[in-house]
Each structure stands twice: as C-alpha cells, then as structure tokens.
Amino acid sequence: MAILVSKETKAIVQGITGRQGVFHTKLMLEYGTKIVAGSTPGRGGETIEGIPVYDSVREALDEHDANASIIFVPAPSAKDAALEAMDAKLNPIVIITEGIPLHDELVIARVASEKRTKIIGPNTPGVITPSECKLGIMPGHVFKRGNVGIISRSGTLTYEIAANLTKSGIGQSTCLGIGGDPVTGMDFTEVMEMFKDDDETKSVAIIGEIGGDAEERTAKYISETKFKKQVVAFIAGKTAPSGKRMGHAGAIITGSSGTAESKINALRDAGVGVASKPSEVAELIGE
Amino acid sequence: MRFFEYEAKSVFEKHGIRVPKRGYTTKPAEAKRLAREIGCPVALKAQVLVGGRGKAGGIRFANTPNEAEELARLMLGTKIQGLNVSGVLVEEKLKIEHEYYFGITIDRSKRSPVVLASSIGGMDIEEVARDSPEKIVRRYVDPVLGMCEFEARLIAKDVGFAGNELAEISNAIMKLWEIMHEFDAELVESNPFVKTSEGVFTAADARLIIDDNAIFRHKDLESRVATVGELNKREMEAREAGMSYVELDGEVSIIGNGAGLVMATLDMVDLFGGKPANFLDVGGGASSERMIKALKIVGSHPNGKVILINILGGITRCDDMARGIIEARNSIGINIPLVVRMVGTNEAEGKKILNEAEIEVLDTMEGAAKKAVEVSQ
C-alpha cells in the first residue's frame, strides 16, 4: 500500500517556472509522477515540460483534477503558497523550500493542523513511494520498492542510507523527509502511525539528528504504544558542538538538550536498534 | 542572530518596556563619564553573546566614576567563555526587591510560541525549571492570532500579580510579544525583570535572538552580521557563499553535500579515532565555484592535515565537484592530502577527471573516513 503518495497522486507544482521548479518537474515526470499542472502568478498560459501553467492553484483546479501539491516557491513567499494550497484542499503538500522564517512555519503548521492537511517539510527532499510516485527531489534510482518505511530529517544522508538498503536487497515502501527545520509539518510519530497501519511496511527506519526532542518523543511513543514493527535508527551529530547550527535550521544543541546522545539513549531504551554508522542500518534491519 | 544586552534594551525601551538608566561604551574614559552622568553606584556589564556572564565575573559594581573607569579597563579586551568583551554597559545599580522571569520562546514539539514566566527569576532560573517546574507559568500563544490581552493578564495573575500591578505587568508581557512578532524572534527574555525597592518595575536584563531565516525581511540587520564578530573570517566567507560552516579544532577538514551527511561524516571520522577540523555543507546542486570556495576556506584552517570530501550526488553533479577540486588545486593550491569519496550523478565522469589528476576516488564513506584519519595521524 505505502503511504501518502501512490500512482493515484496527481500533483500541482507551485513555483513551476523557477529554476528548481523546471528542473525537478522534468525529473519527477521521468520518474512517472503524475503532474497535472503548475502554478506561478503572472505566468499563466505558459507550458513547462509539457505541463500547463496557471496564475493560481484555483485556476489550475478549474481545469484539472489534483490531490497534492509540491512547492518550490522561494522562502519569502512560501507561506503564502502553502496557504493557497491548503485553501484549495490539496493534501498532502510537500514544501521543498529551505530558509522559511520560523514564524511563517508556525503559521503553516497551525493552519495545517486545523485543516487536517498533511504537510511534508519544509526544507525536505520530499516523499517517494518507489516505482509509483516521487513528489520530491531525491534521486529516484537509489530507491527500490520493498518493506522498509523511512522517515528522515535530512536529504543526502537519507539517500546514502536508502542506497545502502537497496544494495543489500532491502527495499522501501515509502521514504519521507519531515524536514530539517525546527518546526516540521509532521512529526516522526505522526508518520509512524501511518506506517503502523500500512500492511506493506514491516520495519521503520528513522534518520534523526541533533536539535529538539523529536526522537526522544518518538522513543516515548514506541514504548507507550508498544509499537509492533521493527524500528531502527541512525542519529547524526554525535560530534556536533553545543550552540552551533549544523547546516539545518533545526540542527542545534541548546545547552544540554537536543544532543545525539540523549536521542540515541532514549531510542535504545525503547528497544530501537541504533546504528553507529549509516551502513549499519541495513545490517540492523536484516536481523 | 543574537543581540547584545544593550541592543535588546534599546528595543525594549522603544516598545515601552522600562529599562535602567544606562550607556554603552567601548572606552574606559567614557565609562567614567557615564558613571558620573548616571550617578553612582553603577553596574558595569560585559557585553558578550553568551549566557552565564554573571557567574563568570561579567557584572561588577563601581562606587565612584574612577572605579568605573578602572573596572571598564579590566573588563574590556578580556574573554568570557572564549568570546571577547568588546563593550560594557554602564548602568544604574538597581535596589532590587524582587526578581521575576519573563520570556517568550518557541516550543518546537508543540509548534507554538510559548510564554514562560516566574516569580522566581534570576541566575538560578534553570534550576527552578528543573527542580520546581510548577513555579514556572507556561502559556502557549496561537501563532495565527498572536497574544490576546486577556492571556497576558492570565499570565500576570498566575505569577502572582494583582491590583494596579496586574495592568502594568500584563502590558509588559504584551510588549514582549509585540517584540517577538515584529522582530521574527526565536527568543525574547528578561531575566531578571525586577521590582525595585521603590516599587518600580524594570527589565534589569534583556535578551533577543532573531531567526536567521527571517533576516531577509529585516534589511537594517543585514549589515550587522558582518560587523558584530559572531563569525570569524572563514565563517563569514562561507556565509557569503551560501554555505554552512562551523569551525572546530581537529585535523581532518571535511567538505560534503547535505547537512545530515556532513554531520554523519564528522561522526565517522570521530568513530575511527580522528578529530574533525570543521563542518562544511556546500548545499544542494553546488557548482564547481562553490567547491573552489569550500576548499579555499578549509585550506586556511591552521590545524588541517587532510581534507576529506564526501559527495553523494543527487542533484549535485560529481563532474562539477571534480572540476572544482582540480581548479582549486590549480588556482589557489591545496597543500595537504585530499581524500575523496564521490558517488551519484555523473560519477564516472567525475572519477575520470580526478583520476587523470592523480586523485584517488573512493566509493564508500567508511573507506574514505578511515583513510582520512590514517593520513591525519
């Protein structure tokens, strides 16, 4: 079954005419994703990679059937693009954009919660259900369909681990990036709830990093709900110093909270196999 | 972006929150003049962007203008927790009757701003939070609605205010929220927020941290990044080039694409017994020019004995990265060994370019990290 995206997904690309929009629309189409239209205010009437462009999401929906959106709009206007997509009832909405102001992300998250819209990101490589749909910027060829659900806060580290799994003959049901920012549209636990109910997913791999307490809360969730499926994890940033942002806006140890050690201990206490290096994730799943 | 106390206090004052009589200076003679103007005794507070300065001797008191000058001379140019004290705030010494804590920050897990307030403010607030969490009032603010006045009153009431004080304190809390919102802040805080023996409420300390991702919409702050000295030369260069760079003090310099991948690379170097010299993420879809800039930055690190490059090319092209490495070697020169791991888009071409220049290319992160550590030792 997989989660969130499938061959039924029909997506609108917001910000389709920008450099990233054009480039990744082409790659998503090559992967087989059903992109029905694009939206960039003022560019209605154009065509990008054969996809019709409209001035607004609403106009696109007047002509086409769509149930999802992917946003490549630059940070200053990303909140508005997300609000527009939510207003049009598109769900899920992938926000690729990095650098969105925190206060904008809080508003996006609040409105999404009230409208029960699933937001993937911001600052994410997106989501992929191998062989069916890629709504994102990840290299499709490193993924292979299988039974492991991946939930990650990073981009290339996810590809590294997915590639290792694929090479070991272990495929993935759905791989999703919740994003590298301090405020994410979805939590690890919300995605795990979806994997829990997905027959195709037999194990879950969590790729976390320093900053915040998402992994600790996930450990609590696993214990309290007695999560039945195997969970393994890799946490990046054991060597990160306190007080410094390590690339991602959300990857920062403040004082003593948000350390890799705290996350690894919490997960191990909950029975999660925590890899000491990325390649070990495949070994742990194999067990 | 962290503001100095003196800057945060200016913001508080502009927004109608009372702050002590004060003056900021970088010169001891000026500290003497300020002390005379304000009236002794005065406090001299080191202006550094770290907490815990009180416990580190960063707050001293002077009874005469001469003493103020002497203390200022002592404090300026010293370091607190590794940071230079470039200025001091000379301030009226408050007769404190009671210390409170008021702060607004972001609760990541609840995806919400949260107001924290306590009648037990001061240096030990962290212990209070740990040992008596019930003494900290907590209220989540709707990020879409913003704070409502009734909420500010509820908070003030819960902290223990009543009567006339209720209006004054709830007003101050509303002002803190206004600052939080207007400045796109991650944190606005006053600890301690004091009641003086004359019954006057004043923000004895002020902290303000602004979301770096919001600076584009605070044009007046853009130039501040360069002048404040929070970042060293290499960090500034990286920032200007759109890359993330954190300097450490080991011998293995690291360049990679993707924050998580780079962090994992640092961790792996450490796992194999090496010491990372830095974190550097060239970002997604980096050009060869970016790689050249990255090599220039890590190349100037005083302790670097080897440069480990870890590229997993998705959108980023391996041949672009390879070209950047060769050009860097030719134009700026690379004096220390390179260990390169490169896989992904156009990897065959990238490998060819590097092999022709006699640079070996490894396939796995582990192999590369191990080799880099060996070379560094």
pLDDT tens, position by position, B275-309: 999 999 999 888 999 999 999 999 999 899 999 99
| Tens digits of residue pLDDT in A79-131 | 999 999 999 999 999 999 999 999 999 999 999 999 999 999 999 999 999 99
In this predicted structure, what is the pLDDT of residue B226?
63
Among B248, B262, B345, select the one facing A247 at the smallest CB separation. B262
Residue partners of B330: CB distance under 8 A and separation at least 6: none
> Which residue in B2, B81, B111 has the most chain A C-beta atoms within 10 A of its own C-beta, making it the best mutation to test that interface?
B111
CA distance A63 to chain B (A): 32
Last residue of one domain, picked from the residues B207, B230, B253 = B230
Residue partners of B28: CB distance under 8 A and separation at least 6: B69, B70, B72, B73, B76
B81 and B157: one domain?
Answer: no
Task: Indicate the range of A198-207, B111-120, B282-291 predicted with least confidence.
Answer: B282-291
What is the number of residues in chain B? 377
For residue B341, give the CATH number of its domain: 3.40.50.261
B147 and B55: one domain?
Answer: no
Residue partners of B351: CB distance under 8 A and separation at least 6: B318, B322, B342, B361
B177 and B47: one domain?
Answer: no
In this predicted structure, what is the pLDDT of residue A237?
97
Q: Name the 3-class secondary structure at A134.
A: strand
In this predicted structure, what is the pLDDT of residue B326?
95
| Tens digits of residue pLDDT in A47-84 | 999 999 999 999 999 999 999 999 999 999 999 999 99
B87 and B106: one domain?
Answer: no
Burial of residue A136, with CB atoms counted within 10 A of its CB: 0-12 exposed, 13-18 middle, 19 or more buried: buried
Last residue of one domain, picked from the residues B215, B230, B245 = B230
For residue B72, give the CATH number of its domain: 3.30.1490.20
Q: Which residues pair with B43 in a beta bridge?
A: B61, B91
Q: Tell me which residues of chain A, numbers 13 to 52, contact chain B at a CB-CB cutoff of 8 Å.
A: 23
Contact A209 B365 (CB under 8 A): no
Last residue of one domain, picked from the residues B73, B93, B113 = B93
B303 and B276: one domain?
Answer: yes
B87 and B101: one domain?
Answer: no
Res A135 pLDDT > 90: yes
> Which residue in A20, A23, A28, A103 has the most chain B C-beta atoms within 10 A of its own C-beta, making it the best mutation to test that interface?
A103
In this predicted structure, what is the pLDDT of residue B236?
87
What's the distance, CA B320 to chain centroid?
Answer: 33
Q: How many angstroms separate the CA atoms of A275 and B116, rounded?
A: 37
Give the DSSP per-residue string, B172-199. Answer: HHHHHHHHHHHTTEEEEEEEEEEEETTS
Q: How many angstroms separate the CA atoms of B249 and B233, rounded?
A: 15
Q: How many angstroms separate the CA atoms of A129 and A15, rounded?
A: 23
B1 and B137: one domain?
Answer: yes
Domains of chain A: 10-120 (3.40.50.720), 138-286 (3.40.50.261)
| Tens digits of residue pLDDT in B34-66 | 999 999 999 999 998 877 777 778 999 999 999
Give the DSSP per-residue string, B3-41. Answer: PPHHHHHHHHHHTT----SEEEES-HHHHHHHHHHH-SS
B82 and B125: one domain?
Answer: no
Q: What percent of chain B has pLDDT over 70?
A: 98
Across the A/B interface, how many CB contacts are shorter than 8 Å?
A: 167
DSSP symbol at A147: E
B192 and B169: one domain?
Answer: yes
Q: Which residues of A252-272 are buried (b: 16+ CB within 10 A; e: fewer)?
A: bbeeeebbbebbbebbeebeb
State the amino acid at position A47 in one-letter form. Answer: T
Q: How many angstroms separate the CA atoms of B52 and A263, rounded?
A: 26
Total count of domains within chain B? 3
Instruction: Decide which of A137 and B236 is more confident.
Output: A137
In this predicted structure, what is the pLDDT of residue B228?
65
B207 and B254: one domain?
Answer: no
Q: Tell me which residues of chain A, numbers 218 to 237, contact chain B at a CB-CB cutoff of 8 Å.
A: 234, 236-237
Res B227 pLDDT > 70: no
Q: How many angstroms separate the CA atoms of B29 and B70, rounded?
A: 9
Tell me the torsion sign for CA atoms B28, B31, B36, B42: negative
Does A249 contact chain B (CB < 8 Å)? yes
φ/ψ (deg, to 5) at A175: -120, 130
Residue partners of B374: CB distance under 8 A and separation at least 6: none
Residue partners of A156: CB distance under 8 A and separation at least 6: B256, B257, B258, B260, B261, B312, B314
B99 and B66: one domain?
Answer: no
Q: What percent of chain A has pLDDT over 70?
A: 100
State the ipTM, two decimals: 0.95
B177 and B256: one domain?
Answer: no
CA dihedral B268, B274, B278, B279 (to 10 degrees): 0
Res A227 pLDDT > 70: yes
Residue of A nearest to B146 (CA): A107
Residue partners of A87: CB distance under 8 A and separation at least 6: A57
**How much is the mean pLDDT over chain B?**
93
The residue whose two tokens read 């301090």 is: A182
The residue whose two tokens read 């791999």 is: A205
- As a whole number, mean pLDDT of residues B338-344 equals 95
- As a whole number, mean pLDDT of residues B88-98 equals 97
**This model's pTM is above 0.90:** yes
What is the number of residues in chain A? 287
Containing domain of residue B226, as a range?
Answer: 1-19+95-230
